Chains A and B, each alone.
Chain A
Amino acid sequence: MAEFKEISPNASAGAKLTNWFENRFPTMFSAYRVHMAEYYAPKNFNFWYIFGSLAMLVLVIQIVTGIFLVMHYKPDAALAFGSVEYIMRDVPWGWLIRYMHSTGASAFFVVVYLHMFRGLIYGSYRKPRELVWIFGCAIFLCLMAEAFMGYLLPWGQMSYWGAQVIVNLFAAIPFVGPDLALLIRGDYVVGDATLNRFFSFHVIAVPLVLLGLVVAHLLALHDVGSNNPDGIEIKGPNAPKDAQGHPLDGVPFHPYYTVHDIFGVSVFLMVFTAIIFFAPEFGGYFLEYNNFIPADPLQTPAHIAPVWYFTPFYSMLRAITSEMMYALIACVLLAGVLAATKLKLPSLFKAVVLGGAVVVAALMLAIDAKFWGVVVMGGAVVILFFLPWLDNSAVKSIRYRPDWHKYLYGIFVINFVVLAYLGVQPPSPIGERVSQVGTLFYFGFFLLMPWWSRIGQTKPVPDRVTFAAH
């Protein structure tokens, strides 16, 4: 226990009150110092570094608006659609709360995708920040679950058929799949039981996990310190420090970055409110038109697509046809042969790798393409967790990588956007071919990263961060 501090009886009332709390709850004061006033963040942050704070803001918006929506919403297959329309039309200002929540969902993904891209280009996932990145990926998974289950709640056509498709993904798993899908739905088709449990997960179970992960993400970040656009460690043993041991290249989070973030928040809120007031459906991208029709279990809408933030992964799912399986089998066998011939491994290990490749190829022939589509879609997210161990570049930041790396990251982004676009479109033969190439590129980018990230001449990394006072 900390020492009990006495204060002069002549001190001001404010000082006495502070002292009273400091003696009884010192954790609050030390947390403020560790995470705010004495958390030194690199002073060369650029605009890419606003998205973490914005993600926190959107999380708060979602929780607050969510609490108010639950006061009027009815999780019942017969009442749900009507209760959402009731919120929109009859509850005073209900439309605003609902549009804040629905726009907030899309805003969350915009902000998180940009936040992840920042991590990708500046190498923020690399040693010693692997756990920060992994907690972040887990947050991304939670967000996807949260968004998917939340989308069922209005009980519109898209809600219903979207849930039907995603739950059936689990049914594709060999042996246990159909029973697992039954356990998720709680009925033989998506119905009232499904709606009720998704409501429970959406409003309490997943948010609790999400909050826990956000705390872990921040604590881990503050333990190892923030990365920066130069990828230089400002708190390393050789980093320049002042007499008190504070990094010369860092500034305290509060007040410097709190004020800086308030500016970012203002800009964000301008865009956010403009969308809420003038284009809450965002042309059918944030709220799909078909979702304004009540769920009809007998009729799938003519064109169904997930909300935009899931479409890159949805495209990859659609890309896996039985034709595509031959291309994938060729890739697996080629990888097995290359590993056996090129890598420096004990011969026993080589045999295991080659045998493993043959077994996987045989399974790929034996099990339906449908299952492998699910594996590819899941793998596209899971592969992100391994990024810290895939990148072998000598430098962290894109600034000091060979120039062609920048183009490669550019192509990666374009590929991701093209996949997202194709996922919104109805299926077509050309779209299918493009999404197959896109899927191969997406996985090639990550799986070949251990090799390509080492190729080329990196630029010298300076000792101090690049910063000009302004």
Chain B
Amino acid sequence: MSDTLADKSQMDPSKRTWLIATGCAGTVGGVAAAIPFVSTFQPSEKAKAAGAAVEVDISALKPGEKVTVEWRGKPVWIVKRTPEQLESLKKTEGQLADPKSERKPAELTPEYARNQYRSIKPELLVAVGICSHLGCSPSEKFQTGAQPSLPDDWQGGFLCPCHGSTFDMAGRVFKNKPAPDNLEVPPHMYLSDSKLLIGEDKKA
């Protein structure tokens, strides 16, 4: 190998130039060929098409109860809050990271939910049950008072089992927790007093 080019003067520079040019062209082709392969990682047309709005009958929901429905593969909670639970939203305000839902409002809180209750009707909370930290689904901890993994003055709300983030009865995240944001309120609207549509609102 090493003795083939012992005499540098025998090297033909024009051949070398063309070898380099060919190599560059080949690299461009190689990169271009990688594009379709990487593109296959994207969601398929089928996955993009899934995501229709879901209609829910809430006439049977009693105060203090929660139902979970699936929308775009995610759990959406509908919670009918009791007057005490609504009252607790005032007490928790001082301990929250974002009590007024001001962070990322476009993604997390539609305009009609930018209030203390984070809802259209004060007693009915509609929220995507996915923690803003790493995507676990928090569990309901509606019982008040001291209990494992929760503070002694717990007012009721949600606890994420993965990393201990806590949310109040309006899905607002407490300070100093791994989760940075409140729970997402999905676009939703009431078709009648007992019919709720999740995934679409009046704007759309």
Contact = CB atoms under 8 A, between A and B. Distances in A.
A184 B43 CA distance: 9
Interface residues of A, number: 42
A410 B68 CA distance: 49
B91 to A, nearest CB: 21
Contacts of A238: none
Interface in B5-58: 38, 41-44, 47, 51
Given A161-B162, A427-B149, A300 B136 contact: yes
A370 B161 contact: no
Contact of B42 (A171, A183, A189, A304): A183
Contacts of A76: none
B74 A297 contact: yes
B149 A186 contact: no
Contact of A188 (B38, B72, B148): B72
Interface string B165-176: 000000000011
B41 A197 contact: yes
Contacts of A427: 149, 163-164
Contacts of A191: 47, 73
A321 B161 contact: no
Nearest to B165: A427
B177 interface: yes
B139 A189 contact: no
B73 A168 contact: no
Contacts of B163: 317-318, 427
Contact of A299 (B51, B75, B133, B160): B75
Contacts, number: 105
Contacts of B94: none
A189 B178 contact: no
Contacts of B51: 188
B51 to A, nearest CB: 8
Interface in B60-80: 68, 70, 72-75
B161 A193 contact: no
Contacts of B129: 298
A303 interface: yes
Interface in A400-442: 426-428, 432
Contacts of A432: 164
Interface string B126-146: 000100011111110000000
Contacts of A368: 180
Contacts of A185: 43
Residue of A167, A320, A427 contacting most chain B CB atoms (<10 Å): A427
A186 B74 contact: no
A188 B44 CA distance: 11
Interface string A40-51: 000000000000
A316 B7 CA distance: 59
Contact of B73 (A188, A321, A369): A188
A463 interface: no
A369 B180 contact: yes
A323 B138 CA distance: 22
A182 interface: yes
Contacts of A304: 136, 161-162
Interface string A242-267: 00000000000000000000000000
Contacts of B164: 318, 426-428, 432
A156 to B, nearest CB: 15
Contacts of B42: 182-183, 186
Contacts of B135: 164-165, 167-168, 171
A169 interface: yes
Contacts of A428: 148-149, 164
Given A321-B178, A369-B180, A427-B163, A186 B43 contact: yes
A302 interface: yes
B41 A298 contact: no
B162 A165 contact: yes
A172 B135 CA distance: 11
A323 B176 contact: yes
Contacts of A317: 163
Nearest to B75: A298
A183 B38 CA distance: 9
A426 B42 CA distance: 35
A322 interface: yes
Interface in A337-352: none
A231 B139 CA distance: 54
Interface in A151-200: 161, 164-169, 171-172, 182-189, 191, 193, 197
A186 B41 contact: yes
A456 interface: no
A301 interface: yes
Contacts of A297: 70, 73-75
A373 interface: yes
Nearest to A165: B134
Contacts of B148: 426, 428
B43 A193 contact: yes
Contacts of A172: 134
A121 B136 CA distance: 39
A21 B93 CA distance: 82
A321 B176 contact: yes
Given A426-B149, A427-B164, A161 B178 contact: no
A188 B43 contact: yes
B100 to A, nearest CB: 18
29 contacts: A161-B136, A161-B137, A165-B135, A165-B136, A165-B162, A166-B134, A168-B135, A171-B135, A183-B41, A186-B44, A186-B47, A188-B73, A189-B73, A191-B73, A193-B44, A297-B74, A298-B75, A298-B129, A299-B137, A300-B138, A300-B139, A304-B162, A320-B178, A321-B176, A321-B178, A370-B180, A427-B149, A428-B149, A432-B164
Interface of A: 161, 164-169, 171-172, 182-189, 191, 193, 197, 297-304, 317-318, 320-323, 368-370, 373, 426-428, 432
In the A-B complex, the 8 residue pairs with the closest CB atoms: A427-B164, A300-B137, A189-B73, A168-B135, A298-B75, A168-B134, A165-B134, A368-B180
Interface of B: 38, 41-44, 47, 51, 68, 70, 72-75, 129, 133-139, 148-149, 160-164, 175-180
